Structure formats: C-alpha cells, structure tokens
Structure 1
Amino acid sequence: MKISQILSPESTFCSLKLSSKKKVLEKVSEVMAEFIDCPSQDIFNSLFARERLGTTALGHGIAIPHGRVEACTEATAVFILLDEAVDYDAPDGQPVDIIFAIMVPEKADSEQLKYLAEIAQVLSKPTLVSQIRHAHCGDALFEIIEKATEKLQ
C-alpha cells in the first residue's frame, strides 16, 4: 500500500488555524475517528504517548505524528497544512506547519515503518515542500502528495 491509498481528500486540510501541538493532535484525532471505528480520545492518547517518547517533528517545519490503536483495522492518514506554524518541540527549533499523521493497527509494526519511511522520503524534497506550503486548498494538497508518491513506485 502507498501513502496515497491511506489518505483521502476528506482527510486533507489546508490553512487550518490551530494554536498548539496539543490542538493539532486533537484535530488529527477527531478526523481519524471519522475513518476508524474508535473514539477520538483513544487516538489522541496513542499520538500523545508517542510524542512523550520524543517529538515526531523532523525539522524544517514538518512533523509526522503516528501511533497505533487496537480498533484500527487498516492504516489511515491525515494531512494538514497550518495557517500559522506552531511550536512542536522540533530538533531544529523551528515551528511546524506541515503535519502528516498516520495511524495503523496495533500489530502493524512493519507497515507503520514503511509508511513513515515513504512520507519522510517525500517530505524531504524541498521543491515538494514548497509546493505544499503554497497550496490553496485540501484537494490541491492531496494531489501534490498523490503525484509525489506515485513517482516513488
């Protein structure tokens, strides 16, 4: 499975106004709960527990929060471009405005690593990150990621 198969236009958002890392994780959890038969609080708890182990910010304004919940039967993703960057405890000290969150089933260790590697590879391209930051709507963001992941095949 490719990233573009676990992300949808309905789970891709542009110019969201969220004021903190916690608010970002809450929004991601709410959206994921619509796709996973699981309470948003369980999803939030999984994401937050992972953040306590160490930040999922990669630097350069990008974070890839991820987690696992038992109720999740297949991987799902949420992609957000924030209106204004928020402090995310990034290793480079830069605030984060690009969030690509992934939730996988409880026992999907290798699957999660595959998705994380793929999205990290895609988001490591400066020209693509620039395109993302200049997107005007969720559909445009989705298309950018879809095209970028197709090129990886």
Structure 2
Amino acid sequence: MQVANILKLDAVKVIASCTSKKRLFHDLGELAHTCYGLNATEVIDALIEREGLGPTGVGHGIALPHARIPGATKVQGIFLRLEKPLNFDSVDRQPVDLVFCLIAPESAGVDHLKALALVSRTLRDEAICAKLRANSDAATLHTILTAEQSSQAA
C-alpha cells in the first residue's frame, strides 16, 4: 500500500484559517463528500465520535483523524495543511498544522491499520514534514506525499 493509492489530488488542500477542531472536521467531511461521494454528516459525526475516544493529534504538529464510515468502499485519505496552526489537544500540547485524515469502510480491518501505519511513517519523516510546511500548492503537497512514499517499502 502506498499513499498514492489512498490520496487523490483533489483531496489535498491548504486551509488559510480554521478556528476549531469541530470546524476542521466539518471541512474534512465536506471534502470527503466532494472527493469521494461520502455523506458529509456521517463523516463529521464519525470523526467527532472517534476523537471522543482520545485525541488523534500525534505530536510535532501532526494530526491523524480517522474513522470508519458505512458508505466507504475502500480506505481513502484527505490531507490538509493549515496555514495557521490549530489547537488540537495533541499528546505534546503543540498546535497542529498537518492533518492527514483517513476514512475507511466499516469492514476495512487490517487495511485501515496498514493505511494508518503508512501515513504515520510518512509523516514521522522530518524532511517530508519540512517540505510540506514549505509549500502552499496542493499539487506540490500531493507530489511530496506520494513521491516520497514510493521510494520507501510499504
């Protein structure tokens, strides 16, 4: 599995300002609807419910919100770079500016976990994160995320 398999170009956005985690989940839900045809409300509700189990802010300015959605047919991703970092209740208490959301079918099982591990490994690379933070073009961000991963074992 590679990032290119789960992340469409139009599912990569730069957001100038996001005022709250709930607003961020709303933006993710709308993108899931636009890019993947999923029900935005179901996505938003599932992300909020999952976040209630524990924050998905993993530290170093990175959040990995994820949820299982009845209408999803495969694991799909959305990447947002926030120009203004957002308080996300991360484990290190630092604000988040890189958000990689994963949406999976309810029956995804191992594929959901593999995708989560893949994205986590990718964003653990400080060089990749530095490139992501230095660019504001969605196509460039997509290329960074997908090209870097293709040179690593999945």
Contact 2:75 2:115 (C-alpha < 8 Å) held by counterparts = no
Is 2:84 the partner of 1:84? yes
- Deviation string, structure 1 residues 9-57 (Cα, Å, up to 9, x no partner): 1010124321111111110111001233432010111111110000011
- Deviation string, structure 1 residues 50-97 (Cα, Å, up to 9, x no partner): 100000111010000000111111121100000100110001110000
Q: Secondary structure at the match of 2:24?
A: helix
Contact 1:16 1:80 (C-alpha < 8 Å) held by counterparts = no
Could you tell me which residue of structure 1 aligns to residue 61 of structure 2?
Answer: 61
Contact 2:57 2:64 (C-alpha < 8 Å) held by counterparts = yes
- Equivalences for 1:71-150 in 2 at 5 Å? 71-150=71-150
C-alpha distance in structure 1 between counterparts of 2:37 and 2:129, whole Å = 32
Could you tell me which residue of structure 1 aligns to residue 42 of structure 2?
Answer: 42
Give 5+ residue unaligned stretches, structure 2. none
- Deviation string, structure 1 residues 90-114 (Cα, Å, up to 9, x no partner): 0111000000000011111211100
Contact 2:12 2:79 (C-alpha < 8 Å) held by counterparts = yes
Contact 2:81 2:97 (C-alpha < 8 Å) held by counterparts = yes
Q: Which moved more, 1:17-26 or 1:51-60?
A: 17-26
- Distance verdict in 2 for CA 1:98–1:8, change over 3 Å: same
C-alpha distance in structure 1 between counterparts of 2:15 and 2:140, whole Å = 12
- Equivalences for 1:15-54 in 2 at 5 Å? 15-54=15-54
Percent identical: 27
Aligned residues: 153
- Give 1:143 deviation, angstroms: 0.4
Give the CA RMSD over aligned residues: 1.1
Task: Tell me the TM-score normalised to structure 1 length.
Answer: 0.95
Give 5+ residue unaligned stretches, structure 1. none
Paired amino acid for 1:12: V
- Give 1:127 deviation, angstroms: 1.2
Task: Tell me the TM-score normalised to structure 2 length.
Answer: 0.95
